[in-house]
Structure 1
Amino acid sequence: MPGSTSGTEESSFLINGQNHTAGYVCRAGRGETVFYTDYSQPKFVWSADPHPAASLSVSPDRVQHFSSDSVSLSCEGNSEWRVRRFTKKDGLSDCSYWGNLHRSTCTLKLYWYDSGVYWCESGSGEFSNAVNITVQNNYGPILVSPVHPVTEGDPVTLSCRDKQQKLLSKVFFYHNDKLVHNDSREELKISAVSKSHEGFYKCKHSGKESPKSWMAVRGEDKNI
């Protein structure tokens, strides 16, 4: 890509600004007659405006979902918006290829390959916030965690549910793969979130683990 730098031992590319929000791959080449390696696995990088012009909401309002669940993605803003996503299977695509679009709301039935990053984008190139969606098979639990970043000082509750949406008890919760409490419990309640609570969470019930989900924590907005 233009602006990337290369050397004999390392290569880099500086990402700056929302126009660089995309999926990226890399590959190496060597020799006078250049022979290239295979491409790396794709990695999605989010580099949008921290104060987006629109908001993407998810219903049901959680990161993790079961295969065959239905989900609605709605764009709220003062423009015409389309729902887009980046997945490992299909890369970058619009709702018209994998869902049903009505005005600024996209609905779809989820399968394992629908795990990815979703957002709203206007015709003029404006972005909403980005939302991660993870699709779990039907054999383990899911972690119910906030879709959007939580604000420092706010309370948050994490729980673990099965395919029938039953709230599970005797659950162990993990933060960055470390057990949060030595005892099992029904919910993980944090009375006042701090930056130290940011990270990956998962739950474990009867020996089966949920996928991991990232919980982001943002600083308190002093203007409110």
Structure 2
Amino acid sequence: MAGDTGMAGKVALLLWAQTLGLAGWCPLSPAGAQTTQLLVEPPWLPAVLWERVTLTCQGSGTAGATTWYRDGQRWGQQGRDHVTVTESGTYRCARPGSGFSPPVTASDDWLVLQVPARALLEGDTVTLRCRGWWNNAVTRVSFYHEGKELRVLRDGTELSLLPLQLKHSGRYSCKGRVEYRGWKESAPVTVTVQVPVANATITPGPPAHRVRAGDPVSLRCSVQVGSAPVTFTWLHNGQEVAWGPLLELGNVSVGHSGTYQCVATNQLGQDGHRVFQALSPVLALEVTPGSSWLTAVAVNVGRTLLFLLLLLAVIGGCHWWHRRGG
């Protein structure tokens, strides 16, 4: 009985150690960390200086840790999370824990083509607007995509793209006659059509995967569609255990058994507030006791015992023969 109790204690200790190992097989990485965002108000890009333009920096840490940059150089608006822009240029902000924001351009040109400062998703309706300096009237506006003329408007100054498709991505510009200033052409702006993540899958595929204890196991998560950056979170029995597209379990133990899913996420848009997720099907991993190493040991022990039995039989037979002869 005492021997059984000691063996049970050893088994419990082994399972406890396996559980600790399972919880720490792959520490959470910075892949899911917050990124710095730069919000612009009014929400149009590029911003125009004849409107009151406010930039707001969002990221980890406090507002006092914000560093501002204009045209690549440190700008004298440090320690504030929002500023008012009065000069043309390209602006960025940075926070210690989340890095640099995407750039925002402020323009004071005679003619400016603006695009909404938000995530432009496949299927949306997006309007581009061609504007004259200080809202001077603009006539006979032509819109261009990658240098090719799309449309000419005698009176209108806006171009609608609907429904938005991946083919609409690219560089756009406009040309028109600005009141009192003559013919002008805008600087190009870039339209990037983004796609939410969808159809997350796990390899090897669900519904079940069976292995022996001690075997190496790796799981990979992928998505069929989704604009970068895409982050991956792994769930074991519904609990988060790791980040990244590849989950290395190493030489598995019985404690690795259970259900696995991955969650694919992409965070789209200038403000980063449009977050999309795709959950993979469930993979049931079953780890059976006994590895190939243990099997080999068992086979070798069995062969050794069989050899010993045969040896004892030979010795016994010889002993019997000599006694009979005597």
TM-score normalized with structure 1 length = 0.60
Cα gap change, 1:215 to 1:129, in 2 (>3 Å): farther
Could you tell me which residue of structure 2 aligns to residue 141 of structure 1?
111
Cα deviation for residue 183 of structure 1 reads 5.1
Q: Deviations over 1:34-70 (max 9, x none)?
A: xxxxxxxxxxxxxxx8975342111122223445654
The structure carrying a bigger helix percent of its residues is 2
- Contact conserved, 2:125 with 2:164, CA < 8 A, in 1? yes
Cα gap change, 1:60 to 1:196, in 2 (>3 Å): same
Alignment of 1:11-50 (within 5 A): none
List alignment gaps of at least 5 residues for structure 2: 1-30, 178-182, 199-275, 278-326
Cα gap change, 1:166 to 1:173, in 2 (>3 Å): same
Residue type at the aligned position of 1:187: E
List alignment gaps of at least 5 residues for structure 1: 1-48
Could you tell me which residue of structure 1 aligns to residue 103 of structure 2?
131
Could you tell me which residue of structure 2 aligns to residue 177 of structure 1?
147
* 2:136 aligned with 1:157: no
SS at match of 1:192: coil
- Contact conserved, 2:45 with 2:115, CA < 8 A, in 1? yes
SS at match of 2:133: coil
Alignment of 1:60-79 (within 5 A): 60-66=42-48, 70-79=52-61
* Whole-Å separation in 1 of the counterparts to 2:131 and 2:54: 20
- Contact conserved, 1:85 with 1:119, CA < 8 A, in 2? yes
* 2:170 aligned with 1:199: yes
- Contact conserved, 1:69 with 1:109, CA < 8 A, in 2? no
Cα gap change, 1:182 to 1:108, in 2 (>3 Å): closer
* Whole-Å separation in 1 of the counterparts to 2:122 and 2:137: 26
Cα deviation for residue 132 of structure 1 reads 3.2
Alignment of 1:74-113 (within 5 A): 74-81=56-63, 82-85=66-69, 87=71, 91-93=72-74, 95=75, 97=76, 99=77, 103-111=80-88
* 2:219 aligned with 1:219: no
Could you tell me which residue of structure 2 aligns to residue 36 of structure 1?
none
* Whole-Å separation in 2 of the counterparts to 1:187 and 1:54: 31
Cα gap change, 1:186 to 1:71, in 2 (>3 Å): closer
Residue type at the aligned position of 1:203: C
Could you tell me which residue of structure 2 aligns to residue 121 of structure 1?
94
Residue type at the aligned position of 2:114: V
Cα deviation for residue 74 of structure 1 reads 0.3
* Whole-Å separation in 2 of the counterparts to 1:64 and 1:200: 13
* Whole-Å separation in 1 of the counterparts to 2:111 and 2:188: 11
Cα gap change, 1:134 to 1:198, in 2 (>3 Å): farther
Residue type at the aligned position of 1:135: S
* Whole-Å separation in 2 of the counterparts to 1:213 and 1:50: 30
Cα deviation for residue 213 of structure 1 reads 1.1
Cα deviation for residue 79 of structure 1 reads 2.5
Q: Deviations over 1:68-127 (max 9, x none)?
A: 65421102345225253352xxx332x4x2x4x67411222113xx2x2x3332223x13
Aligned-pair identity in percent equals 23
* Whole-Å separation in 2 of the counterparts to 1:50 and 1:158: 33
SS at match of 1:130: coil
